[in-house]
Amino acid sequence: MTAAEAYTKLDQSTITDESLQNMLSSVKSQMEGNVYLRLQEMGTAAWNSGRTDEALQYYTWSVKIRREAENLFLLARLQQTVGNTAEANQNFDAVVGEFPSSPYAERARNARGY
């Protein structure tokens, strides 16, 4: 299990010990600060190399760690490419709804066909 996978599966509300909360805060800062971007980059590299299952996992982890227009759009585009149309459309709609002023909103509308 990777650190990203463990982090995304962690129920943070169950951590009540103050010292563990402090450690979690540090980990969260790292994950939301730069790890989600690295996962996005790894997803793109995997996709460009034809490893779509791996790319889907990286993009999914990236979105779970920090939901941003770009990583959500990339996840949706890859889902669309591999034929997961319902999931792709849901994520395109999320880009438009959650990040309406983002340049990815227009791209999502175009990819979605509206």
- Among candidates 109, 75, 110, which has minimal Cα distance to 91? 75
User: Has residue 27 been placed in a domain?
Assistant: yes
Summarize pLDDT for 67-107 with one digit per residue, the tens: 999 999 999 999 999 999 999 999 999 999 999 999 999 99
**Residue numbers of the domain that contains 88:** 17-112
Q: How many domains does the chain have?
A: 1
User: Has residue 89 been placed in a domain?
Assistant: yes
The verdict on pTM exceeding 0.95 is no
* 19-23, 30-34, 61-65, 93-97: least confidently modelled range: 30-34
User: Has residue 33 been placed in a domain?
Assistant: yes
User: Has residue 6 been placed in a domain?
Assistant: no
Half-sphere exposure at residue 73, Cβ-oriented, CA atoms within 13 angstroms: 19
User: Has residue 88 been placed in a domain?
Assistant: yes
